[in-house]
Structure 1
């Protein structure tokens, strides 16, 4: 599956329009469904959902089985969290609260072998469960690992150019939710948030890095595309189920009343 992983990182770097979704439910089925209908990627959300390592492992298996890239939003930038999901075969990681260039460098190093500090095992899924050549695997793994820094803290804005330029950071994810809460803005598209979004996008452009964003609908997707975002995390498995279920219920409640 190294070719799939490398192609995702390459497509992201090229600025291809990529569409994914968060996976919030700790089963393999939502990933299998979204991958099966053609989503470019999914993001297994360990930070805000009840995923343990076994559930993450199952979701990543489903992603690989359906040919979609499986990223994981880890619960923290701690190296053991990054190593765990990469060993399970994650295409890459979405790392929350990358607020300094120093932390960005630590994250990048934890995700790669050459020039980095990723711990090696040849027996894990990402290495094909053993039997391969160690250095062939290391080259493929380093080429495939996609590292996305989530920018969601006001202090990150003070170092945004340095964070964006950090070698080994492949993209910036604009975390409008935490920025909105931290800045006390009324909505996630209020003027202070729009200013922060523009600053992050401009820094990414200067560094030649793509921008990834979460969107809940097409109106905000159009706005964020206009400032340079190319990779979109659209809603979540739970969001899709809730909206479809709410519409179905409303339709059925209204049956025969018009």
Structure 2
């Protein structure tokens, strides 16, 4: 029998998120188990499997979530679309939570929450997948464990959402918001994510989240940016992606060793 005395990262992630612990994660863009294992081994708190912008299918999501469990890291899924089927597949495979893209209305937020919850929602029941320990959890213990542990995170990344922030934040069962600065930048036709209009939008979102007592997750390019965002109220940070971090590290190595070419 697995040790139930210590909560797994998947079971404890939502509690830590709601408790405003400083959490560090990254996006996983490569459909393989290895990158998830590496980030878990390094001690990252969570990894978000990016089914929206990377070539993940149901099978590769399942394998990546298995790797997250093996490596002791909370595995979340950014679903390709906010359909109940996509959300259900991720949760049944053992995701600690889901990121729902382009939540621009309270109706969209409520629909996402409903797809994630059993007792107060409309999540389709099965305890036979990984989330139910392949039948090892009986019906109601499985229902209670999932309703208690699954994190529902809305991505605020559209100008339309800015006009409905209070209503979105007031959605019962919505755990946190992720501020999508890149999408906001493009939608607002701003020069960069640091442009005044984007910074103003970020401030509005964080203020609305603070008023509704919702944690905020954001991308951070470097530690100084994370410090400034934490001062504003963010508590969970995405540090690039597996591909982006590999590219940065490989670029540094190429630059460091570039002098060897001229020395030959």
What TM-score bracket applies, with the shorter chain setting the length?
over 0.9
TM-score computed with the length of structure 1 as normaliser: 0.97
Q: Deviations over 1:105-162 (max 9, x none)?
A: 0100100100100001121010001143100110001001000000000010111111
- In 1, distance between residues paired with 2:56 and 2:252? 28
Q: Structure 1: where are the runs of 5+ without partners?
A: none
1:256 CA displacement:
8.1
Pairing 1:38–2:43 present? yes
Pairing 1:160–2:165 present? yes
- In 2, distance between residues paired with 1:105 and 1:225? 27
- In 2, distance between residues paired with 1:50 and 1:122? 27
SS at match of 1:10: helix
- In 2, distance between residues paired with 1:14 and 1:154? 29
Pairing 1:221–2:226 present? yes
- Which residue in the other structure is 1:66 paired with? 71
SS at match of 1:117: coil
- Which residue in the other structure is 1:54 paired with? 59
1:216 CA displacement:
2.1
1:165 CA displacement:
1.5
- C-alpha RMSD over aligned residues: 1.4
Q: 4+ residue stretches of structure 1 with deviation over 6 A? A: none
- Which residue in the other structure is 2:235 paired with? 230
TM-score computed with the length of structure 2 as normaliser: 0.95
- Which residue in the other structure is 1:94 paired with? 99
Q: Deviations over 1:31-51 (max 9, x none)?
A: 000001100000000000001
- Which residue in the other structure is 1:206 paired with? 211
Pairing 1:185–2:190 present? yes
1:255 CA displacement:
3.4
1:6 CA displacement:
3.2
- In 2, distance between residues paired with 1:25 and 1:113? 31
- In 1, distance between residues paired with 2:48 and 2:137? 28
- Which residue in the other structure is 1:108 paired with? 113
Pairing 1:133–2:102 present? no
Q: Structure 2: where are the runs of 5+ without partners?
A: none
